[in-house]
């Protein structure tokens, strides 16, 4: 086996999370030597059980007393997937929490990577950096003179600042790649409850026999375009190989679906028939959200392998195989 990643030492902070674990899977396939650092506050090392002792696992708080510089030293790349992502919550205090936590994590990893002079650093931003009035599908537009999307403003602010810090650090031996993923989904993102993403949240309502109807926040006419986490992982590895510098690159698709259609599709896949109710008193976020990924294609030649139908089928299968859990009692911010 040969290639860009083969036999390279790669560190993945947050590699036990939903997205990070998919990237670890892709790295192992390439023959990379992978170390995962995660405190499991939002990740779960069981996601990586299939890899056995082929990867190294370090359970640690990235912002506590851990020698990140020493761990990073001698590695070929650090792929930063550590962070706390937004989900379906109305608690206004979450914006400041998301802002502060994500800045602390990203800052610790950036400074350690710079001190260790790691050849490649991936900084993961988000589509939440874009303003509510961004064109759809959204290209890699400038972020000056506007605000991040209102529904996830704390998270969006943090990601904007993280990008700015990374750009300011460029010009030295560390080649930094900035990625802006759009809505990701996949069979490892299946547990609902407060703070969960929209698909697992809907699945919880669909599968819970105590819930007589499926309540969709907002009008149900808002659209989202989802990218499978397995495709996102492949895109990330290609992007690091082919691109670095101050230009952030979108990772996503333009295949839009309304939340009403999404809920109906999930019910059919589960074999469940419940009334759909649209609660317009709840926040629904951006009216439309999809990705212009033409720059990614131009840079890397990337094309997704998983369409939305295939992704949803795998998500439902994974959820049914785990058995229904009372995720409504789980609480907390997700990932």
Structural domain spans, the chain: 9-185+226-251, 198-224+256-288+307-329
- Using CA atoms, how far apart are residues 144 and 164, in angstroms rounded to an integer? 11
The predicted pLDDT at position 193 comes to 65
pLDDT for 75: 98
pLDDT in the model for residue 196: 80
Residue-wise pLDDT tens digits, 196-206: 889 999 999 99
Compute φ and ψ for 281, nearest 5 degrees.
-80, -15
Residue 185's nearest CA partner among 255, 237, 131, 134 is 255
Determine which helix (DSSP H) or strand (DSSP E) holds 38, and give its type and residue range: strand 33-38
Say how far apart CA 110 and CA 190 lie, in whole Å: 30
Out of 3.40.109.10, 3.90.25.10, 3.40.50.720, 3.40.50.1980, select the CATH number for domain 198-224+256-288+307-329. Answer: 3.90.25.10
Using CA atoms, how far apart are residues 299 and 126, in angstroms rounded to an integer? 19
| Contacts with 271 (C-beta within 8 Å, 6 or more apart), sequence order | none
User: pTM of the predicted model, to two decimals?
Assistant: 0.92
| Preceding amide of 137 cis, omega within 30 | yes
Directed axis angle between helix 198-207 and helix 259-270, to 10°?
50
- Cα angle 188, 40, 240 (rounded to 5 degrees) comes to 65
Give, for 22, the enclosing helix (H) or strand (E): helix 18-30
pLDDT of residue 93: 82
Tokens representing residue 192 in the block? 């609902």
Q: From edge to edge, which strands make up the β-sheet containing 33-38?
A: 56-59, 33-38, 9-13, 77-80, 120-124, 175-181, 249-251
pLDDT in tens, 249-297: 999 999 999 999 999 999 999 999 999 999 999 888 888 999 999 999 9
In 10 A of CB 146, how many CB atoms? 13
pLDDT at 291: 97
The predicted pLDDT at position 85 comes to: 82
3-state helix, strand, coil in the chain (%, to 5): 40, 15, 45
Max CA distance (Å), the chain: 58
* Assigned superfamily of 9-185+226-251: NAD(P)-binding Rossmann-like Domain (3.40.50.720)
Q: What is the pLDDT of residue 333?
A: 28
Q: Please state, in angstroms and rounded to a whole number, the distance separating the CA atoms of residues 285 and 136.
A: 14
Residues whose CB is less than 8 angstroms from the CB of residue 145 and which lie 6 or more positions away in sequence, other chains included? none
Cβ 10 vs Cβ 32: under 8 Å: yes
In this structure, are residues 132 and 285 in contact, taking their beta carbons and an 8 Å threshold?
A: no
Per-residue pLDDT of the chain (335 residues; tens, 9 = 90+): 469 999 999 999 999 999 999 999 999 999 999 999 999 988 999 999 999 999 999 999 999 889 999 999 999 999 999 998 876 555 678 899 999 999 999 999 999 999 999 999 999 999 999 999 999 999 999 999 999 999 899 999 999 999 999 999 999 999 999 999 999 999 998 776 666 889 999 999 999 999 999 999 999 999 999 999 999 999 999 999 999 999 999 999 999 999 999 999 999 999 999 999 999 998 888 889 999 999 999 999 999 999 999 999 999 999 988 865 434 333 332 22
Residue 283 confidence (pLDDT): 85
């Amino acid at each position: 086996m040969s290639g860009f990643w083969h036999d390279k030492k790669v560190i993945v902070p947050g590699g036990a999370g939903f997205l990070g674990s998919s990237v670890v899977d892709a790295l192992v396939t390439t023959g990379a030597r992978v170390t995962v650092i995660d405190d499991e506050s939002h990740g779960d090392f069981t996601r990586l059980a299939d890899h056995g002792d082929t990867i190294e696992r370090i359970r640690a708080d990235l912002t506590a007393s851990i020698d990140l510089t020493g761990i990073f030293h001698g590695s070929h790349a650090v792929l930063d997937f550590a962070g706390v992502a937004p989900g379906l919550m109305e608690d206004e205090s979450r914006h400041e929490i998301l802002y502060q936590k994500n800045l602390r994590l990203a800052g610790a990893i950036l400074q350690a990577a710079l001190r260790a002079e790691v050849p490649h650093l991936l900084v993961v931003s988000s589509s939440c950096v874009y303003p509510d009035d961004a064109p759809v599908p959204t290209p890699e537009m400038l972020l000056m003179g506007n605000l991040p999307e209102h529904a996830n403003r704390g998270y969006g602010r943090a990601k904007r600042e993280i990008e700015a810090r990374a750009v300011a650090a460029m010009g030295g031996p560390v080649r930094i790649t900035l990625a802006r993923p759009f809505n990701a989904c996949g069979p490892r993102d299946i547990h609902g409850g407060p703070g969960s993403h929209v698909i697992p949240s809907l699945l919880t309502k669909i599968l819970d026999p105590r819930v007589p109807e499926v309540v969709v926040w907002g009008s149900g006419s808002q659209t989202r375009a989802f990218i499978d986490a397995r495709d996102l992982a492949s895109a990330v590895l290609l992007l690091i190989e082919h691109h670095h510098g101050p230009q952030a690159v979108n990772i996503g698709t333009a295949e839009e679906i309304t939340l009403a259609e999404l809920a109906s599709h999930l019910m059919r896949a589960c074999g469940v028939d419940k009334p759909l109710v649209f609660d317009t008193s709840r926040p629904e976020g951006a009216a439309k959200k999809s990705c212009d990924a033409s720059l990614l294609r131009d840079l890397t030649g990337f094309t997704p392998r998983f369409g939305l139908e295939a992704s949803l089928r795998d998500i439902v299968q994974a959820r049914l195989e785990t058995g229904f859990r009372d995720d409504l009692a789980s609480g907390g911010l997700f990932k």
